Amino acid sequence: MADTPKSPEDELAGTEQPFVAHLMELRDRLIKAVVAIAVAAAVLAIYPGPAALYDILAAPLVATLPKGATLIATSVISPFLVPLQIMFMTAFMIALPVVLWQMWSFIAPGLYMHEKKLVLPLVISSTILFFVGVAFCYFFVFGQVFKFIQSFAPKSITAAPDIEAYLSFVLTMFLAFGLAFEVPIVVIVLARMNIVPIDKLKSFRGYFVVLAFIVAAIVTPPDVVSQLALAVPMCLLYELGIHAAQFFIRNTKSPEDEAETAGS
């Protein structure tokens, strides 16, 4: 007698583990994630070094300062702490794929096949989009914003930004652009989980444009360049998210949805 295929309800039958085993696995995966960050930090400490990393991060601002002007440190310990913070921030970003893989490996055994088809592409794409947002901010936005700000500075003022204030500004901008580039992921999740239908998302386009400019006005400096640089990509990515959501919905149906489609 042939074996009957498993129903969606018992697809995960027999995969349960004791609570203590889950905690031990979580501990092991957290250790692996921390080790990956530590290894990346150790490599960066050797080459190019914390000071060189700060110089790289400060390059877009330094390039727009008047000749002879430099950044300053108003705290005695800042020249040591700030480059160190940048080194660990860079190490975390380098090790982020490993961290996310450990997260995925921990939750994957508890997911159905149709859920795995949705989660893994979203994890990969969200990581790529975050890096793209940070790169867009560093290579394009910073240069344009700093030039715009310096063009309004009176000739009697010599710019000498504080390195701690600059680090805070950079982190805020990186986070803002990195999260802004996650808009397609949010749209896909809302549509795929049936929280907001595709039709509603399409009708919300006009409101989202207004919302994007409001968010850009709040999180970016009060200049037109950075606000446009954040708001316009958000609007384009929202549209991309709608099209991507339609693709995901067609290709990540659960067995119940497929049965309903076949029966209709």
pLDDT 10s digits, 68-91: 778 888 889 999 999 999 999 999
pLDDT value at residue 182: 93
- Reported as a pLDDT band with limits 50, 70 and 90, residue 189 is confident
Bridge partners, 72 (sequence order): 162
| pTM (2 d.p.) | 0.83
From first CA to last CA, the distance across the chain in angstroms is: 31
7 occurs within a structural domain? no
5 occurs within a structural domain? no
99 occurs within a structural domain? yes
* Number of structural domains the chain divides into: 1
9 occurs within a structural domain? no
186 occurs within a structural domain? yes
| Rounded mean pLDDT, 52-74 | 88
Q: Measured between alpha carbons, how far is 40 from 91 in angstroms, rounded to an integer? A: 5
* In the predicted structure, residue 61 carries a pLDDT above the cut 60: yes
Which of 213, 200, 214 shows the shortest CA–CA distance to 245?
Answer: 200
12 occurs within a structural domain? no
202 occurs within a structural domain? yes
Q: Which residues form the domain of 159?
A: 19-255
Phi, psi of 72, deg, nearest 5: -125, 160
229 occurs within a structural domain? yes
Instruction: Provide the CA 77 distance to its chain's centre, in angstroms.
Output: 30
Q: Measured between alpha carbons, how far is 190 from 84 in angstroms, rounded to an integer? A: 38
Q: Measured between alpha carbons, how far is 242 from 191 in angstroms, rounded to an integer? A: 8
- Reported as a pLDDT band with limits 50, 70 and 90, residue 9 is low
